[in-house]
Chains A and B, each alone.
Chain A
Amino acid sequence: MSNKGIPVLAALAAIGFVVTIYLVFTYAPLVEDPVLMFNQKIFYYHVAHAFMLFLATAVCGVCSLVFLKTRKPKYDDLALASAEVAAMFGAVVLATGMIWAKAAWDIWWVWEKRLTMSLLLWLVLVGYVLVRRFAGSSADRLAAGLAAFGTVGIPFIYFMVDASDHHPKAGAGGVAATLPPEMKLVFWLSVLTFLLWCVALVMSRVQSARAERELREIRERGLDAGLFT
């Protein structure tokens, strides 16, 4: 990955963000639903962030498994970067999801299927970040193990939530499927914007992770050679 790509992606994401926010409020029609009305606008950010959450998590899980098998540090850097970015996107998903819940169902938190899944996924990601920060020299292995177990656990969380979903089915299910074309356009534009933003963040985090690692390696080599006594 080259350094030059990051500013370009970030700039595109910035432009996209301005364009999307303009289109969200001027071009996309209001929903008919009397309760949701204007509140529905948060959907363009909420769902786009959720997509990025799952994308970054998938990247992290796959890279962690590959890292455990091959021990190539570049996969570890990528896993670390995408996990941190996923944790951030996850926080936004949960916050916007709660705002949506308050507006639509007048309650901050419901144990709705997707909310629960996002929460549990986010908990694994926060655990991952904590491990990275506090586990010292074996942090990379531990975190990779956590990511691998967390990824394998996702289907279980899905079936678990599916079977114990005794709360009223939330109304969000129908929203995404039956969008009018104007909304669909704005929605996918928003997804694209956040995809660019997500990739830019991951790339720059990979670079700083790689720089940290290389510095550490150089320092260790220096110590071995008897420097810094």
Chain B
Amino acid sequence: MSVLRHAARVAWKDLRIELRSKEIVYTMAFFGALIVVVYSFAFPVKPDLVRAAVPGMLWVAIAFAGTVGLGRAFDRERENDTMRALLLAPIPRLAVFLGKAAAISLLVLLVALVCAPLLALLLDVDLFAMPAELLLLLVLGAIGFANVGSVFAATLLKVRSRDVLLPVILYPILIPLFVAGTSATEAMIAVKPDLDKLWYWIGFLGIYDAVFLVLSMWVFEALVIE
């Protein structure tokens, strides 16, 4: 269990830096909010149209804001070359990965929790008809995103064109996650909520997260070497 304890320590370190500077939280959340505002100008606000488009809007906003935050979170480790120190630390590499991924999933979740109410407010959609299910969905989405994202952001750390390569690598892999999130949200906010569909996609997301978590834990050490 020491892996988990070390992971928690790495995560807490990241979160504490974030709590002191609040750089990523503020910029990411504001960026997410901006995307939502851009949406409300870019698409005609008609009730039936909005209901069909909002799930996609939510998840695209999470994807964009999440990518920005992800890049920044790992840039921080690059600036003072602290990633090397982390990797040299006498703890399993697995713990470094898990800690990083946990901290980033919290940040992504936070952005989602900013974007969702804003979408509901600006576009007048009842996103919160099933608050518990929505939260579960967002948590699963944030975990999956942060998990795959951390692996590749960490690997890209030393690459010059990392900012463009990160989405190029990430999005094709994450497409199932976004489709699952969008479809589940769609089922949730439909005029007649489709519970079977909702739980199918939540299950899908859960399995996606589990499989990719195992794969990440398996290849992280091979990918991130100095």
> How far is B207's CA from A159's CA once the two chains are assembled, in angstroms?
12
B215/A149 in contact, CB under 8 A: yes
Is B173 within 8 A of A68, CB to CB?
Answer: no
**What is the chain B residue whose CB lies nearest that of A146?**
B169
B183 beta carbon closer than 8 Å to chain A: yes
Task: State the Cβ distance, B145 to closest chain A Cβ, in Å.
Answer: 13
Chain B contact patch, size range: 20 to 34
Q: Which residues on the B side are within 8 Å of A164 (C-beta)?
A: 179, 183
CA of A91 to CA of B183, assembled, Å: 28
B126 vs chain A, min Cβ distance (A): 23
In the assembled complex, how far is the CB of residue B198 from the closest CB belonging to chain A, in whole angstroms?
A: 12
Q: Shortest CB–CB separation between residue B143 and chain A, in angstroms?
A: 15
Select A152's contact among B155, B169, B215, beta carbons within 8 Å: B215
A79-120: CB near B (< 8 Å → 1, else 0) gives: 000000000000000000000000000000000000000001
Determine if A135 and B165 form an interchain contact, defined as CB atoms under 8 angstroms apart.
yes
Interface readout for A153-171 with B: 1 if CB under 8 Å, 0 if not?
1001101100110000000
The answer to whether A141 and B176 touch across the interface, beta carbons within 8 angstroms, is no
Instruction: Tell yes or no: A29 within 8 A of B by CB.
Output: no
1/0 per residue A49-85: CB within 8 Å of B?
Answer: 0000000000000000000110100000000000000
Q: For A152, give the chain B residue with the smallest CB separation.
A: B215
Residue of A nearest to B200 (CB): A163
Interface residue ranges of A125-139 to B (CB < 8 Å): 127, 130-131, 134-138
Which residues of B sit under 8 angstroms from A130, Cβ to Cβ?
Answer: 165, 168
Tell me if A68 and B219 are in contact (CB < 8 A).
yes
- Determine whether the beta carbon of B180 is less than 8 Å from that of A160: yes
How many chain A residues have a CB neighbour from B under 8 Å? 30
Pairwise interchain contact B165-A131, C-beta atoms closer than 8 A? yes
CB nearest neighbor in A for B152: A145
- Bound-state CA distance A150–B152 (Å) is 13
- Given A134-B161, A134-B165, A164-B183, A145:B219 Cβ within 8 A: yes
Contact B222 A68 (CB under 8 A): yes
- Is B169 within 8 A of A138, CB to CB? no
- B222 and A127: CB pair below 8 A? no
- Consensus secondary structure, chain B interface: helix
Would A156 and B176 be within 8 Å (CB), given that A135-B165, A141-B155, A148-B215 are in contact? yes
Judged by a CB distance under 8 angstroms, whether B148 is at the interface is yes
Q: How far is the CA of A69 from the CA of B180 in the complex (A)?
A: 31
B158 to chain A, nearest CB (A): 6
Residue B223 contacts which of A145, A153, A159, A163 (CB distance < 8 angstroms)? A145
Among candidates A123, A136, A148, residue contacting B172 with C-beta atoms closer than 8 Å: A123
In the complex, A124 has a CB within 8 A of chain B = yes
Inter-subunit contact B158/A124 (CB<8 Å): no
A142 to B156, CA, bound (A): 7
Q: How many Å lie between the Cα of A103 and that of B148 in the bound state?
A: 40
Residue of A nearest to B221 (CB): A68
**Is the Cβ of B176 less than 8 Å from the Cβ of A157?**
yes
Are A120's CB and B175's CB within 8 A?
A: yes
B212 within 8 Å of A (CB atoms): yes
Which one of B161, B173, B201, B225 lies within 8 Å of A146 (CB-CB)? B173
Give Cα A69–Cα B173 distance, bound, in whole angstroms: 21
Task: Verify A127–B169 contact, CB threshold 8 A.
Answer: yes
Query: Mask for B141-171, Cβ within 8 A of A = 1, else 0?
Result: 0000000100110011011110011001101
Query: In whole angstroms, what is the CA distance A142 to B225 when docked?
Result: 11
Known A68-B222, A141-B225; judge A153-B165 contact (CB<8 A): no
A-B pairs with lowest CB-CB distance, top 10: A156-B176, A68-B222, A123-B172, A124-B172, A160-B176, A149-B173, A145-B223, A135-B159, A127-B168, A134-B161
- Show 17 A/B contacts (Cβ-Cβ < 8 Å), sorted by A: A68-B219, A71-B222, A120-B175, A124-B172, A134-B161, A136-B159, A141-B155, A141-B225, A142-B152, A142-B155, A145-B152, A149-B215, A150-B173, A153-B176, A160-B204, A163-B183, A163-B200
